[in-house]
Structure 1
Amino acid sequence: MLDEFERYQALQRYGTDRVNSTQKFHKLPGADSLLKYYRKIKKFGSNPNVFLRAKSVAEHEESEIQRLENFALVMAQLGKYASSTRPSKKAVIRDLFKVLKAENKARKSQGRKDKIKILSQRTYERWIDRYLDPFEVCIQRNGLKMSIGNLANTLSASLCPVAPPCSTR
């Protein structure tokens, strides 16, 4: 029985049919461990999920919801970049850092352990470029007439790549 188990492990872990001295294997569980596993699975009605890690599905869903709420808070602050006052990315991100620090401080005072991870300024600049719609940002910052002109220039440049029109950026 032990030889068969070692051959199985050699095949699974090392891809070889034969066992050699350089390979390390797990030992077979003892009688006490098998009895403990048997009692555990019978106690929970032959449900194999009893051997999964202790973190429950509800905790995982709760942490996922919290992660999405944190992302929504960050994006609401980054959305202030699309404003007629035309703030710089640096100014928006500086304000975001203040808001995140205040939020983490408030969570700490409430006894919560789920702090929002503060990323680098460059990461948040990329998030502005990636997650905010460029046309909506252009409308908010420059007005409708200028945005339509930029959109027309961009479309004609993509349709006729040989002679692109001048950009008004």
Structure 2
Amino acid sequence: MEWNKKTTAYFPESQRRKLEEIEKYLSKQEYFSNENLNKSRIILLLVDNFYELFVENNSRTKYPNRLDQLKKIKPKDNEKLLRDISQIRQMQDIQALITLANYQNLVQQNDYDPRKKLRSFNYGDSKEINVLMNRILQILKEDVVQAKQIKDTNQKKKKLR
């Protein structure tokens, strides 16, 4: 297909209505308040958006699969993802501080050598590491249960108001 600088496109009535709805939607957006949104500009925006969402970063994904992926994304998903990322960063900070504190304590104990006391973490046959990891996993499970209880209690309070 060869494209000229000026190309005529045929829009059936249903597609024309959709284009008009897109035009109304965009004209209400503050982002475009200083722009003249004619049909050509809207078509260019549609092409740019399609390119960015389907071609640029996902060129190997088939169109129907990528469309399904995009349809599944909800605003709540993005908010939850941002909260999760924030929590992960906070946990990494805490973990770094704990690691530094542990290192400092180990350095002060001249006779302690973790390589002699604890066998390989990856090998998994160290009783001390297994006990420690199981305790950490248990604490995490208890925390999830407690958080759920707090959430349920708060929801019940909101309903009673």
TM above 0.5, yes or no, is no
User: TM-score, normalised on structure 1?
Assistant: 0.28
Higher relative contact order (CA 8 A, sep 6+): 1
**Structure (1 or 2) with the greater helix fraction:** 2
User: TM-score, normalised on structure 2?
Assistant: 0.29
